[in-house]
Structure 1
Amino acid sequence: MDFLTTTTFLLITCVIFLIFNLTYTRKSQKKGRLPPGPIPLPMVGNILQLNFAEVFKSLQQLSEKYGPVYTLHMGMEPVVVLCSCDAVKEALVDNAEDFGARGHMPLLDKMSAGGYGVVGSNGERWKQMRRFSLMTLRNFGMGKRSIESRIQEEAQFLTEEFKKTKCHPVDPTFFFSKAVSNVICSVVFGKRFEYDNKEFLRLLGFLHEIFKGFSSCWGQEKGIPQSEFNMEGIVNTTFDLFGAGTETVSTTLRYGLLILLKHPDVEEHMHKEIDHAIGRNRAPCIEDRSHMPYTDAVIHEIQRFIDLIPLGIPHKVTRDVHFREFVIPKGTTVYPMLSAVLRDPKQFKHPEQFNPGHFLDGNGKFSRNDGYMPFSAGKRICLGEGLAKMELFLFLTTILQNFSLRSPVDPEELDLTPLLSGFGNFPRPYKMCFIPR
């Protein structure tokens, strides 16, 4: 009896599976020719074929079989994955309007209150939020000397905090969170907070935990409320600025110093360039960057190597799109794999290695690379790209102008692989000593 029951169950399962795939095939043919991909299972799609502890590796392996443009099913919904520099650039830059809507992840929907804020919104609401954000940032000094002076001032406060450690090993995590967040606070509120302010520290801890939790959450498309511009949108846009503006830059700085501890020769080269271009008697300014090709290359390579947001933030096509030899139906979620761009062997000679030479030409001058896309590209490129680049340069050069970096453990023991790797890559905890120069 048990044998008959098991056999019957398996037969029913097989029939359901065949019906599902027949229905899926007919549905796909009606919508258009989606890119190829693994056959989905009923209800769950291809979720069981992904290792969520190493999402990018799973997606990269699928691209090796199905090509740089392929289809996955997250549950019942098809998701198109772009897994090369050429494919991502062709979609987000060459066809920016068609790929310009925001796709959705469950946690992103919750964070943006169902489509509010500049990150998660779409349509007219997104246009208004982005216009509001750009106007507000410009009014508060974005792109002007006033914002540069605020970063320079905060870099000096950060330097004083490091001096207080008196060369003892410290975890730099919240030092950077405080400094970077204070730049945003000075823009939004017109004031900064003391590093020991309890409310300030509570907010930073909250943002840090949210960003870590966000790393493991990505998913399928959901509905979007109709466009409107209201206080909820403004509040969520402000939160976007704080969350993204603080955690992305502070994590990059923290990861960057870990890399320099691992590569003391790179730090030494940066010290020499800083001493030559800036000296010890004035604060670094953004104009110095054009005279410091090696430091500029190191910062670009840090962003490329750490691959902070490997999956990218999902997009969605605004109409039926003919893309290469395929047809992507309107409303389909698209994942532009930034990791595939930043580690594309066609763009970078040694994609798995940290090598500032990826951004230097034969004469030691800074050289741009199409594979540099940590801020994404096209209509949805990160609003804070200019601010983030300015912060990374001014904070790093100010730190290295004043300190030598030392690890309390042998640099050979330092592990540069991420502690968490999902939506975001997070460095492993470490301690370091700031030795005054």
Structure 2
Amino acid sequence: FYWSGDSRQPRSQEEPPALFRQARVLECRMDSILSVFGSYVNWDVKSLLLFTAVFILTADYIKNRRPGSFPPGPRAFPIVGNLFTVDYNRTHESLTQVTDVKKIDHSKCHRLTNGTLAERYGDVYSLRMGQTWIVVLNRFDVLKEALVDQGDVLADRPNLPLLQDISQGLGVIFSNGKIWKQQRRFALSTLKHFGFGKKSLKPVILEEFSYCAKEFKSHKGKPFDPHLILNNAVSNIICSLVFGHRFEYGDEKFMELMSLPLFCNTFIIIYLKCLWLYLCTYRSSVKDFIRVEVKEHKHNWDPSDNRDYIDCYLSEIQMNKGQADDTFDEENLVVCVFDLFLAGSETTSTTLRWAFLYMVKYPEIQAKVQAEIDKVVGTSRQPSMEDRADLPYTDAVIHEIQRMSNIVPLSLPHVTTRDIRLGGYTIPKGVTIIPNLTSVLFDKNEWETPDAFNPGHFLNPEGKFVKRAAFIPFSAGKRVCLGENLARMELFLFFTSLMQHFTFSMPAGVKPVMDFRFGITLSPLPYEVCLTSR
């Protein structure tokens, strides 16, 4: 037969015309039936897709709608929530201000506190990131009420996949419950025994400064990037406490670890993937490095003579063996050392890099600091912690550097372990809490000139140093930074020693750039500086 579009010839030239007509009628009827059936199928698929979309959106709304007693916040998009309303290169600003951060002249104002989300929704507000609710806390009084007054309820970290990949629930930074309590208590007591935050640590810091100063002098006043040298110097101090020895700056493995970038910034999906891949790589490299040290310690270990943190931990493993609540083992030792290594180096070295920038930006402040140090310490001896009381202006400058540099702007996340009343709202168990330290360090109600570099924030009318309650760069409460005492000592001794020996300036024709790069810490953009021996 002939069919529509068929190129075949009839089987025989004698086939009757009536048969062709019947075939054409049958063909038309089939086309009509297929057309009606196709329209029905298309309509059914569209209906199914529409129903599915409506069902998902309705379920998302019912599941994620804010209860009446829950903190308010900006309207969330279906499914993704507020995920794409945050600038992940300036996350702390996105969570603090409601204006368009891209229209802000950051060269004129390093941080802003006007037009905040808190002014629209209150000091306690909520955001939905995908399917997860977070509550952001702003202002000193609110953070104090949460982290100090109700610290027991907020002592845990959220069970986030990224954090679990880093720590596996071990260590002292991201662990919870019994593991965290035992490991933090042991770390504090052991490091205190070895001079953590005490006067006995002074020789270790000043000795490391001498190696650092030698590296600085080798550049002979020419421009150089101080990042790696500062990382090496600060990391060696925690290495002395944890490993019992320092490393030469030229040590190949040590340099490889110190030169790894600690930041990753780009569009959110790429950002999270890159950060995760980087942290896994960094964690693996550092852990291998630590395991070599643990192996060497075990080989030379004398339980009667504990030389450092690792020796003490090995003794603790032996003492707790067989106990039901024992959390001490070699894997936990490796993660604890990793935590101490990371927390004890990056934040302090980053603060010192900000210090270099602020000194070159404000040469009159640099000169005033040097004059005070020359008067009190002179040039014939090294500074000591005893000098701090007699160096109020220098101490005020160090604190103002910490305030303005805002190293950990959002602290680390907490999670509610039971329902909690905060700021007049009820926050259920299991909600992630973000303490917005930026809102405290740049609060116009706490600081006379919050957006300006002003050492006077920490001086009384008589010129004496005064520490402000709202100065909480290390956070507060039970999860306050484990290395606060060490960091404060390092910053004072390093900064005063640097000001005693060097004058800082930018290369000819170059102005300091005070913008930042958001990552694990808030770090300055890479720069070069000139150090001239005094």
Alpha-carbon shift at residue 318 of structure 1 (Å): 1.9
Partners of 2:423 and 2:218 lie apart in 1 by: 58
Structure 1 residues 70 and 56, CA gap change in structure 2 (3 angstroms)? same
**1:20 equivalent in structure 2:** 60
Aligned residue identity for 2:78: P
Q: CA deviation digits over 1:51-82, x for unaligned, max 9?
A: 21221222112333211101111221211111
Structure 1 residues 39 and 406, CA gap change in structure 2 (3 angstroms)? closer
Which among 389, 397, 415 is matched to residue 316 of structure 1? 415
Structure 1 residues 3 and 362, CA gap change in structure 2 (3 angstroms)? farther
* Structure 2 residue 196 is the aligned partner of structure 1 residue 98: no
* Structure 2 residue 180 is the aligned partner of structure 1 residue 144: no
* Structure 2 residue 132 is the aligned partner of structure 1 residue 34: no
Alpha-carbon shift at residue 422 of structure 1 (Å): 4.4
Q: How many residues align?
A: 421
Alpha-carbon shift at residue 186 of structure 1 (Å): 1.0
1:311–1:423 CA contact under 8 A, matched in 2: no
After superposition, residues 127-276 of structure 1 pair within 5 angstroms as 127-206=181-260, 209=261, 211-213=262-264, 228-276=327-375
* Structure 2 residue 371 is the aligned partner of structure 1 residue 294: no
Alpha-carbon shift at residue 139 of structure 1 (Å): 2.5
Structure 1 residues 104 and 300, CA gap change in structure 2 (3 angstroms)? farther
Alpha-carbon shift at residue 274 of structure 1 (Å): 0.3
Structure 1 residues 152 and 330, CA gap change in structure 2 (3 angstroms)? same
Work out the percentage of aligned pairs sharing the same amino acid.
Answer: 43
Structure 1 residues 214 and 373, CA gap change in structure 2 (3 angstroms)? farther
Structure 1 residues 232 and 214, CA gap change in structure 2 (3 angstroms)? farther
1:310–1:422 CA contact under 8 A, matched in 2: no
* Structure 2 residue 384 is the aligned partner of structure 1 residue 348: no
**2:106 equivalent in structure 1:** none
**1:429 equivalent in structure 2:** 526
Which among 118, 128, 131 is matched to residue 63 of structure 1? 118
Q: Please, what is the CA RMSD of the aligned residues?
A: 2.6
Structure 1 residues 422 and 177, CA gap change in structure 2 (3 angstroms)? closer
**1:115 equivalent in structure 2:** 169
Unaligned runs of 5+ in 2: 1-38, 99-116, 276-324
**1:222 equivalent in structure 2:** none
**1:368 equivalent in structure 2:** 467
Which among 514, 520, 534 is matched to residue 416 of structure 1? 514
**2:179 equivalent in structure 1:** 125
Partners of 2:427 and 2:327 lie apart in 1 by: 28
Q: CA deviation digits over 1:146-186, x for unaligned, max 9?
A: 21110011112212222222111111111101110111111
Query: Does the residue aligned with 1:41 lie in a helix, a strand or coil?
Result: coil
Which among 115, 134, 138 is matched to residue 83 of structure 1? 138
Which range moved further: 143-152 or 5-14?
5-14
Query: Does the residue aligned with 1:196 lie in a helix, a strand or coil?
Result: coil
1:107–1:214 CA contact under 8 A, matched in 2: no
Alpha-carbon shift at residue 103 of structure 1 (Å): 2.5
Partners of 1:9 and 1:259 lie apart in 2 by: 58
Query: Does the residue aligned with 2:152 lie in a helix, a strand or coil?
Result: coil
Query: Does the residue aligned with 1:63 lie in a helix, a strand or coil?
Result: helix
Partners of 1:430 and 1:205 lie apart in 2 by: 15
**1:223 equivalent in structure 2:** none
Partners of 2:448 and 2:54 lie apart in 1 by: 47
